[in-house]
Amino acid sequence: MNTSRRHFLQTCSAIGAGFLLPGFSQASLLEKEPLCKISLAEWSLHKALFDGKLDHLDFAKTTKQEFGISGVEYVNQFFKDKAQDQSYLKEMKTRAEGEGVKSLLIMIDREGNLGDADEAKRTQAVENHYKWVEAAKFLGCHSIRVNAASSGTYEEQVERAADGLRRLSEFGDQHDINVIVENHGGLSSSGAWLSTVMKTVDNPRCGTLPDFGNFAIDRNQDIWYDRYQGVAELMPYAKAVSVKTHEFDKDNPHITYDRRFNKETDLVKMLAIVMASGYKGYYGIEYEGSELDEYAGIRKSKEALMSSFYTVFFGC
Tell me the pLDDT tens digit for each residue of 205-244: 999 999 999 999 999 999 999 999 999 999 999 999 999 9
| Predicted pLDDT at 276 | 95
| pTM of the predicted structure, to 2 decimals | 0.90
CA atoms within 13 A on the CB side of 46: 14
21 belongs to a structural domain: no
| Predicted pLDDT at 6 | 55
Contact (CB, 8 A) for 249 and 286: no
Tens of pLDDT along 96-114? 999 999 999 999 999 999 9
Cβ count within 10 A of residue 280: 13
2 belongs to a structural domain: no
Mean pLDDT, residues 28-32 = 43
- Identify the sign of the CA torsion 56, 13, 239, 118: negative
The Cα 252–Cα 170 span in angstroms is 45
Contact (CB, 8 A) for 203 and 169: yes
* The pLDDT of residue 82 is above 80: yes
Three-state secondary structure of 32-56: CCCCCEEEEEHHHHHHHHHCCCCCH
Tens of pLDDT along 129-157? 999 999 999 999 999 999 999 999 999 99
The Cα 255–Cα 281 span in angstroms is 22
| Predicted pLDDT at 36 | 75
* The pLDDT of residue 17 is above 50: no
The Cα 272–Cα 76 span in angstroms is 31
| Predicted pLDDT at 24 | 41
Boundaries of domain holding 142: 26-314
| Predicted pLDDT at 192 | 98
| Predicted pLDDT at 30 | 37
Pairing of strands 37-41, 263-266: unpaired
| Predicted pLDDT at 315 | 73
Question: 19 pLDDT band (50/70/90 cuts)?
Answer: very low
14 belongs to a structural domain: no
Question: 27 pLDDT band (50/70/90 cuts)?
Answer: very low
8 belongs to a structural domain: no
35 belongs to a structural domain: yes
Query: Residue 148 carries which side chain, given as an amino acid letter?
Result: A
The residue that leads in pLDDT, 19 or 249, is 249
Cβ neighbours for 78, distance < 8 A, ≥ 6 positions apart: 42, 49, 56, 59
* The pLDDT of residue 279 is above 70: yes
| Predicted pLDDT at 94 | 98
Q: How far is the CA of 115 from the CAs of 124, 133, 251, in angstroms?
A: 11, 18, 43
Tens of pLDDT along 281-315? 999 999 999 999 999 999 999 999 999 998 998 87
289 belongs to a structural domain: yes
Q: What is the mean pLDDT of the chain?
A: 91
* Count: domains in the chain: 1
Provide Rg for the chain, Cα atoms.
19
Q: How far is the CA of 106 from the CAs of 73, 78, 133, 240, in angstroms?
A: 6, 11, 9, 12
Tens of pLDDT along 160-177? 999 999 999 999 999 999
* The pLDDT of residue 31 is above 70: no
Percent pLDDT > 90 in the chain is 85
309 belongs to a structural domain: yes
127 belongs to a structural domain: yes
> In CATH, what number is assigned to the domain containing residue 103?
3.20.20.150
